[in-house]
Structure 1
Amino acid sequence: MSHSVAVATRSARTRRVGWWLLVAVLVAVVLLWVFPFIWMVSASLKSPAEIFAGGLSLIPESPVWENYRRAWVDGSFNTYLLNTVIITVATTVIVVVRCALAGYVLGRYRFPGSRLILGILLATLFVPTGYTIIPVVKLSMQLGLLQSHMGMILALAGASNVASILIYAGYFRGLPNELEEAAIVDGAGFARTFARIMLPLSMPVTATVSILTFLFTWNAFLLPLVFSFSNPDLRTVSVGMQAFVGENSTDWSGMAAAGVISLVPIVVLFAFMQKYFVEGIAGAVKS
């Protein structure tokens, strides 16, 4: 009996040691992962000379809050941030509605050519963005939308968004058929069934697609750069970073402050919606 107790005690001690080792490794990975962001916050409060002299030091000798004023006013990030919010929110709404409709049809209906459509969508995953920029710009120019918020929104929202469509399709495919049958009995058509029943049930997936689209649009660089090339007032935060890079020097402290300003909304959004993001991914994979 004493031997069994000793073995059980050693086994429990071994499990505890293994658990603490795992925790230590994960903490080290997390610190390594977030260190660049913490360093950027620190650099945003330093002078340019202190950034290079301080190395990896995270504590500023004397916080320089002027960097944020320079980024916000002199760097025009007040305008760039407003542009980014308008473009990102509008693009996200368009993409969510379009992908939800496409995912609903592909997930719930079988019709001639549905597999072909799905194959074409999957094929677009292998087409680099750079190859489509020329026709997008040419079409926007012909429509008179090249130097406008609407043109940039439509160009960003017009991507294939295959991953979002597949997430919706997988989720809708797993819903019971009785929902649609009950809606038909009540006299609901396609649009009403989708808007009143299916879309509200897909809120976890909608949150996931919204976050993914929001992140992609917020960080987009190539399309906003082309559309705002002749009109700096249309720049987004990602394009506006170039304002801190001159021909002979770079305002590193101002760029770090601008980087913090552009990342804060993303961090806040994900902090509030991470639960729905995980639920949406898990639901789509399970389906």
Structure 2
Amino acid sequence: MMKKLTPLIEWGTLLFCTGMVCFFLVVILWDLISKGAPSLSWEFVTSLPSEGMTKGGILPAIIGTVLLTMITALVSVPFGISCAIYLNEYAKDTWLTRLIRASIRNLAGVPSIIYGLFGLALFVQGLQMGTSLISAGLTLGLLSLPYVIITTEEALRRIPASTREAALAIGATQFESIRDVVLPSALPGILTGVVLTLSRAAGETAPILFTGVAFYINNPTGFLNQEFMSLPYHLYMLSTQHQAIEEVRPLAYGTALVLIIVVFLLNLTAFYVRYKHSKDE
């Protein structure tokens, strides 16, 4: 009797938990959409803030977020993928590699505000880059690096050893087998992990709080060595620090909705890449 009830209990628990998560997700999205949609317009997306941030748009915050995400990708993706390839394909299983893997996983669990303090000490003060876009991008790159390594290594581990052996059997070198066989097969998993990591980095506030983000910048483009605006910090300031919180609340909901859309598009890109690759196969 218990053997028959156990699967039903497991499935019931799973469905209940899934339903609860979906329910609260729908409630949150409905709240954001219903309160943020009236603020969305072409002018809101393409204009500068005005009148003490109580009117205008969020163009500098959008541009700052995009540039910050690009710098994060340039820092974390090449180094993260290269490190994962070495650990999974070349490094032997020794105490040193096990220690390195454990350290990487521990780094992935470090609170983001600690990375912000580290970026402040290293890039802003130590390397004298100042509070700037490049300092914040490098800090977020360090934060994203462990996630890229972990997801890439997991994607490489899913490739059967027989695939590598087949490539070596026909005369390919280890480098050629990795480049031409292993990496193309693991590419969907790698890209999915990278995009999801970047979408998480795009929503971070604590690391950039100490390294370069500003409340207001009247230059929507800016330079790498200057302060910048970002959607997460802009939302935080409108929601908690503005002197006219009630007046700017619709703008805060509009900013939150734009940020959700950006993150959703990044996640949708990851799912599309995986779907297209599985369809081609």
CA distance in 2, matches of 1:196, 1:64: 49
The 1:256/1:178 distance shift into structure 2, 3 A limit, reads same
Q: Quick check: 1:99 aligned with 2:96?
A: no
TM-score of the superposed pair, with normalisation by structure 1: 0.68
Equivalent position SS for 2:48: helix
Q: Deviations over 1:110-138 (max 9, x none)?
A: 16421121122233345333334333212
Partner of 1:128 in structure 2?
A: 111
| Matched letter for residue 129 of structure 1 | S
Q: Which runs of 5+ in 1 are unaligned?
A: 1-18, 46-62, 281-287
**Are the counterparts in 2 of residues 147 and 227 from structure 1 also a CA contact under 8 Å?**
yes
TM-score of the superposed pair, with normalisation by structure 2: 0.69
**Are the counterparts in 1 of residues 39 and 254 from structure 2 also a CA contact under 8 Å?**
no
RMSD, aligned CA: 3.8
**Are the counterparts in 1 of residues 68 and 136 from structure 2 also a CA contact under 8 Å?**
yes
The 1:79/1:92 distance shift into structure 2, 3 A limit, reads same
Of 152, 156, 172 in structure 1, the residue corresponding to residue 140 of structure 2 is 156
Equivalent position SS for 1:202: helix
Q: Quick check: 1:115 aligned with 2:98?
A: yes
Q: What's the offset of the Cα at 1:257?
A: 1.1
The 1:97/1:30 distance shift into structure 2, 3 A limit, reads same
Q: How does 1:191-210 map to 2 (within 5 A)?
A: 194-210=178-194
Q: Quick check: 1:249 aligned with 2:230?
A: no
**Are the counterparts in 2 of residues 124 and 160 from structure 1 also a CA contact under 8 Å?**
no
| Matched letter for residue 133 of structure 2 | H
Partner of 1:73 in structure 2?
A: 48
Q: How does 1:1-287 map to 2 (within 5 A)?
A: 30-45=22-37, 69=44, 72-74=47-49, 75=53, 76-108=57-89, 109-110=91-92, 112=94, 113-141=96-124, 142-159=126-143, 161-177=145-161, 180=164, 182=167, 190=175, 194-229=178-213, 232-233=216-217, 234-244=228-238, 245-250=241-246, 251-274=248-271, 276=273
The 1:230/1:207 distance shift into structure 2, 3 A limit, reads closer
Equivalent position SS for 1:253: helix
The 1:150/1:114 distance shift into structure 2, 3 A limit, reads same
| Matched letter for residue 99 of structure 1 | G
Task: Select the structure of larger CA radius of gyration.
Answer: 1
CA distance in 2, matches of 1:239, 1:32: 24
How many residue pairs end up in the alignment? 243
Q: What's the offset of the Cα at 1:72?
A: 4.8
**Are the counterparts in 2 of residues 100 and 168 from structure 1 also a CA contact under 8 Å?**
yes
**Are the counterparts in 2 of residues 67 and 257 from structure 1 also a CA contact under 8 Å?**
no
Q: What's the offset of the Cα at 1:31?
A: 4.4
Q: Which runs of 5+ in 2 are unaligned?
A: 1-10, 218-227
Q: Deviations over 1:45-94 (max 9, x none)?
A: 5xxxxxxxxxxxxxxxxx56679739953255101111111211331343
CA distance in 1, matches of 2:21, 2:113: 34
**Are the counterparts in 1 of residues 199 and 267 from structure 2 also a CA contact under 8 Å?**
no
**Are the counterparts in 1 of residues 32 and 257 from structure 2 also a CA contact under 8 Å?**
yes
The 1:154/1:199 distance shift into structure 2, 3 A limit, reads farther
| Matched letter for residue 30 of structure 1 | C
Paired-residue identity, %: 15
Equivalent position SS for 2:245: coil
